[in-house]
Chains A and B, each alone.
Chain A
Amino acid sequence: MNHDQIRGRLDEWLDGALSPAESSAASSHIDACVDCRNEVSRLKRLGAALFAAPAPVDPRSTEAFVARVMARVEEDAVSPWERFAARVLAPAFGLALAGLIFTISLPSAAEDDSPLGVAMVDAEAVMGVAP
């Protein structure tokens, strides 16, 4: 490889992505070429400046993370239909049932001794029967 070819593949050389033969040829050239050496130095500085080494992982932090994930997994295990049933259908059903019980517990309008029945008889007596 000549200078231009190596200059164009300095990233790959730096990242260990060249074949052993190519890497060896590039290394020899970089040792002897100030321009390529400076470019490698720039690339290394750039990586070091922008990408800080990851902080060591605290095992307690990992355990807390596992707990958070598992809580979300548990929440996620409830299907959308089950959520809908729990949040909408159950209250609606309860309301309907309460309404039904209330209606049944009311005195029947057909019963003769009901106040409404008396009222109807009285109205007929006063207004007469329609022809």
Chain B
Amino acid sequence: MNDLEFAELVRLHAPRVRALCAATLGNADEAEDAAQETFLKAHRSLDRFSGGSAIGTWLHRIAVNECLDRLRAAGRRRSDSLDAILEADGNALGAVLSESSPAKALEDRDLAERLLARLNPEQRMALTLKEVQGFTYEEIAEAMDCSLDSVKARIKRARAELLEITRHFSGADGV
């Protein structure tokens, strides 16, 4: 594959890879760097791409691994406590999750990021691939190189943990 062909590949797959990195990593600069790194790694290993799967799937797998590495590193640095989040932003989240208002995205994306950062990297990745990318469980299993049962368990645990946290915000009957 020459440079022109590779540039075309980047052009074609960049939107989804960038969206994945942005949704998974939260931080815009880091997401951009991760997306670039994904294509750089793909270029380095083009000769090892067997063609056994679609090239889009292969790129997603590289992006997933890149983001997981960064999430694991971020997890080691993370210091936000649940109490700190509750104290600072409990009301905002409670309002968004209230049954009395229509479902909508949190305007404070930093708060959403801090909540998602409480999940372990694999759970967060599986849930993001489902919620943002609209992947099927089979596609998630392929992108994360794990079993279908692992995907089900990760998504289920991720949502359960987030529901448990958000119950703190809106009371026992809330969300």
Chain A positions near chain B (C-beta within 8 angstroms): 11-12, 15-17, 41-54, 57, 62-63, 65-66, 68-70, 72-74, 76
Contact = CB atoms under 8 A, between A and B. Distances in A.
Contacts, number: 103
Q: Is the interface of A mostly helix, strand, loop or mixed?
A: helix
Interface stretch (B47-55, B68-76, B151-159): B151-159
Nearest to B166: A46
B137 A46 contact: no
Contact of B7 (A12, A17, A70): A70
Contacts of B96: 45, 49
A49 B163 contact: no
Interface string B127-143: 01011100011000000
A69 B39 contact: yes
A11 B127 CA distance: 11
A121 to B, nearest CB: 69
B103 A48 contact: yes
A85 B95 CA distance: 62
Interface residues of B, number: 44
Contact of A73 (B14, B43, B156): B43
Nearest to A46: B162
Nearest to A68: B36
A54 B19 contact: yes
A47 B103 CA distance: 9
Contacts of B112: 49-52
A17 B112 CA distance: 26
A51 B131 contact: yes
Contact of B6 (A63, A65, A73): A73
A16 B97 CA distance: 23
